[in-house]
A and B are shown apart, each in its own frame.
Chain A
Amino acid sequence: MILAAADPPFTAAWALPYNTLVVAAGVASVGFAAGVVGSFAVLRRRALAGDAAAHATLLGVGLAFLAGGGRRDLPLLLAGALAAAIAALGCLVLIGRWTRTRDDAATAIVLGVSFGAGITLLSGITARGVAGSAGLEQFILGHTAGLTATDARMLGGLSLLAVCLVIMFLKESTLVAFDPSFAAASGWPVTLIDYGLVVLVALMVVVGLPAAGAVLVTALVVIPPVTARQWTDRVGIMLPLAGLFGLVSALAGVAVSSVVPRMPTGPLVVIAASTLLTTSLLVAPRRGGLARWLSARRTVAAWAEGRLLEIALRLEGAGPFTREQILARAPGAAAASAFRRLVRGAALEPVVVRGGGHAWRLAARGRELAAERTRRLAVWTEVLEAAREDARGQLTIDVPSPESILGAARLKSIRESAAAARGGPGPT
């Protein structure tokens, strides 16, 4: 249903044929599912096994192509890809169990040899000029231009299935990913669940083949979850967020690729996903680089101000002090700017001195701040005595407010138990 050509230009730009919309929806769901399933692969530290499976899919595609008599029938080719992916994972297990070869070398072996076999097969097919073989190359780096609406619907359906499975077995997957020995002791079939997860990753790898190609599809499975982890500390939010990032990456890659026809889709999807990751690493609250840098600066600033206030309190006894006097006792670059901030914030006020010089003393506001700092230190000392492990790591040099760090309820209970311990029969 193409929108009427009489529309104004800017809506005409969004006038997309139905086919394209379906393909876009299919690719979007693939990206979403890849992010969701990939989250567990990343949490379980199994990212690399997926890479070996992905490189093996080429061989499966070639064999399925031959078995199907040369038809380019996407479901058939993907079925072959899935079989090859699972076989590759099986080889990894066998190598681990029967030889001395270590994990990393085993992955490299399965990856390189299966990919080589795939290339050999595809090249042999192409060299013999088998009809329809030209399209097979697209599975290496991904090319969505040839996707039909039917194909897209199938991919979308498989993606939906994968996401449903993850949601259904969310608690089991989280348990096994987090603490496999506890899960095993509780009676869960850890190996079975693990294999299930790995097969699901293989499925996603296969489903992602048209979009990203064998070589780069694991990036679609690995990068969005890593991105999502920067934004949240909870599995329940990480999963849909990873799905969202995967969806955006896949769509962006496909969109750009459709504008530049000769470019394979895979690399574009990966670049989109990496851009999201880089941005998140910088910008994400708390974990992001920017946030941490700002927070570190704030801590240093607050610390410097606190020190100056302390020194000012001490110097006050001898009357107003000069800027040089106070800064002499507070070495460090932060002190000068802290002084300026205190003045601006009316914590220090100028005093006119005989002889026309400038001197300073603590203003009322400054006394308040100093008193607050002393109070905080006293409360922290109580906390240290009563519940050291709560203070450890939380009491930073800028002496933050205990109420905001620990929470009012927790602080109250700590202080109560500290008071009980003091008023009781003796130190515990």
Chain B
Amino acid sequence: MIDSDGGQIWMHVWAIATAATVAAACALVGSFLVVRRLSLLGDAISHAVLPGIVLAVLAGGRPGGAGVFLGAVVAALVTVWLTNLLGTHAGLAEDAGAGVAFTTLFAIGVVLVSALASRVDIDPGCVLYGILELVPFDTVPIGGIEVPRALVAATIVLVGLVVGAVVFWKELVFAAFDPAAARAAGLPVGLLAAGLLVATSLATVAGFEAVGAILVVAMLAVPAAAAELVVRRFHLVIVVAVILGIVGSVVGYLAAWRLNTNAAGMIAVVLGIEYVVAALLAPGDGIVARIVSRESLRWRVACEDRLAALWRAEEGDAGALAPRTLVDSAAHVWLVCRGRVGSTAGGGLTQVGREEARVIVRSHRLWEAWLGRHVALPLDHLHPPAEWIEHHLGAEVRGRIAADLEEQGGDPHGREIPPEQTAPGTPPVLPR
């Protein structure tokens, strides 16, 4: 079979194409599962379809044929029914009930496969981690080209899922985010849920031959979870999930080929790495982004505190002039570089610096006054909260607080609250 480099390359191309198609289908379905907190369902179905597949093959269906898909759907429905049964009669929480149901069905499936290994063309190992490498050898002729049967089945499933998702897009999204309102609005929520169940079963069976039962779980959950961290709009989540799934399957297969190990497992590992990278680097929410934002907040606070200290020094509080910590000194240097503070020794605030400092001190004293008025706090407790909040008040809210206070004149300690701006029409400049 492998008689030329070209022929061998084609085998790999087919295998990769199959894996990628399966990954795309699973990522699509998985997005709905993850967003609706139904990842467990994916786990359950991917295990539970096994007896359905085995019985269908026993009854004469070919692996990958329509009968097998039907058997899988039936098995999935049985799982859900059992889970509900256990919930109502055994008082089991949903996750425990599903766990009992699908492990039992999976166990039955494995026993069937082992016992009937001669009559059923399913390898027990394949059940767990698929036989992606062998997929290119089972082909059907399509338009003169020998195409792997698994790829054909996966493509049909993928196309069907895409069409279904597009046609029912509005209803699916509505039901996903607010099932109660959707039901009240007359949407057939139960039908949509059943549809999701069927879609998961189809994707699972399509992935069965490629990556086996358990790694389908990774394909369903990981790309969608990673996509969720990176983008916030649902249609984008699906797109990113599908891309991550395809990339993961291609890279995983190639890596497995290089390292001479199981392709399905490697794909799962690559998907996991994608997730970790997404968790670290996601804009706004990622771990790196959060650390950066926290540190930049801390720096902004340090600079603003320094400006406020210099203002208070100008008002007459000479003790505030000297920098108290290393961070204070660093902030001072930075302010000099940015032209907020004079560069001469003992230099004070520049014009720009004074404007910014004014805003900080105004925020501080407005908040102290507001607290004094609305919250039953003693006088000596007002300074620390104002030290904190002064960095978070913007112009509009300051205006509302000032209006609320009817400009009672000074802050509770008797000092003057600086006005919003010195010259009318020039709004103060603030560090971003």
Contacts and interface: CB of A to CB of B under 8 A. Distances in A.
A122 B43 CA distance: 22
B337 interface: no
Given A109-B272, A141-B110, A270 B215 contact: no
Interface string A116-146: 1111111110011000000001001100000
Q: Among B103, B220, B266, which residue has the most Cβ atoms of chain A within 10 A?
A: B103
Interface residues of B, number: 60
B262 A123 contact: yes
Contact of B265 (A42, A111, A118, A222): A118
Given A108-B43, A140-B128, A270-B104, A230 B114 contact: no
A104 B108 contact: no
Interface stretch (A44-52, A307-315, A326-334, A391-399): A44-52
A120 B261 contact: yes
A42 B215 CA distance: 26
Nearest to B271: A113
A215 B279 CA distance: 27
B214 interface: yes
Contact of B214 (A55, A264, A266): A55
A128 B260 contact: yes
Contacts of B80: none
A360 interface: no
Contact of B39 (A108, A119, A262, A281): A108
A115 B214 contact: yes
B217 A218 contact: no
A220 B301 CA distance: 55
A105 B221 contact: yes
B90 A230 contact: yes
Given A48-B95, A99-B229, A101-B225, A116 B107 contact: no
Nearest to A274: B104
A120 B271 CA distance: 13
A262 to B, nearest CB: 6
Given A45-B96, A108-B42, A271-B111, A116 B268 contact: yes
B302 interface: no
Interface in A272-298: 274, 277, 281, 287, 289
Interface in B378-396: none
A223 B104 CA distance: 10
Contacts of A270: 103-104, 106-107
B264 interface: yes
A268 B37 CA distance: 31
A117 B99 contact: no
A116 B221 contact: no
A113 B211 CA distance: 13
Nearest to A219: B103
Nearest to A272: B107
B99 A219 contact: yes
The size class of the interface chain A forms with chain B is 35 or more
Interface string B278-311: 0100000101000000000000000000000000
A136 B221 CA distance: 27
B275 A109 contact: yes
Contacts of B220: 108
B89 interface: yes
Contacts of B271: 112-113, 116
B91 interface: yes
A122 B221 CA distance: 23
Interface in A1-56: 42, 45, 47-48, 51, 55
Given A108-B40, A267-B110, A271-B104, A113 B90 contact: no
A373 interface: no
A266 B107 CA distance: 8
A100 B231 CA distance: 12
Contact of B217 (A98, A111, A281): A111
Given A45-B95, A113-B268, A113-B269, A281 B90 contact: yes
B267 A116 contact: yes
B236 interface: no
A128 B103 CA distance: 32
A155 interface: no
A171 interface: no
B228 interface: yes
A113 B272 contact: yes
Interface string A221-253: 011001001100000000000000000000000
A327 to B, nearest CB: 35
A124 B261 contact: yes
A77 interface: no
A107 interface: yes
Given A45-B93, A141-B110, A266-B107, A120 B269 contact: yes
B337 to A, nearest CB: 35
Contact of B261 (A101, A127, A215): A127
Nearest to A112: B218
A105, A107, A263 interface centre (most CB from chain B within 10 Å): A105
A53 B275 CA distance: 19
A102 interface: yes
Given A113-B271, A116-B264, A267 B99 contact: no
Interface of A: 42, 45, 47-48, 51, 55, 95, 98-102, 104-109, 111-113, 115-124, 127-128, 137, 140-141, 215-216, 218-219, 222-223, 226, 229-230, 260, 262-264, 266-268, 270-271, 274, 277, 281, 287, 289
17 contacts: A42-B96, A45-B93, A47-B99, A104-B37, A108-B221, A109-B221, A112-B271, A113-B271, A120-B266, A215-B106, A226-B100, A263-B114, A263-B115, A268-B107, A270-B107, A281-B89, A287-B91
Given A112-B217, A117-B268, 4 more contacts: A104-B39, A115-B215, A260-B115, A264-B110
Closest 4 CB pairs of A and B: A116-B268, A112-B218, A113-B272, A120-B265
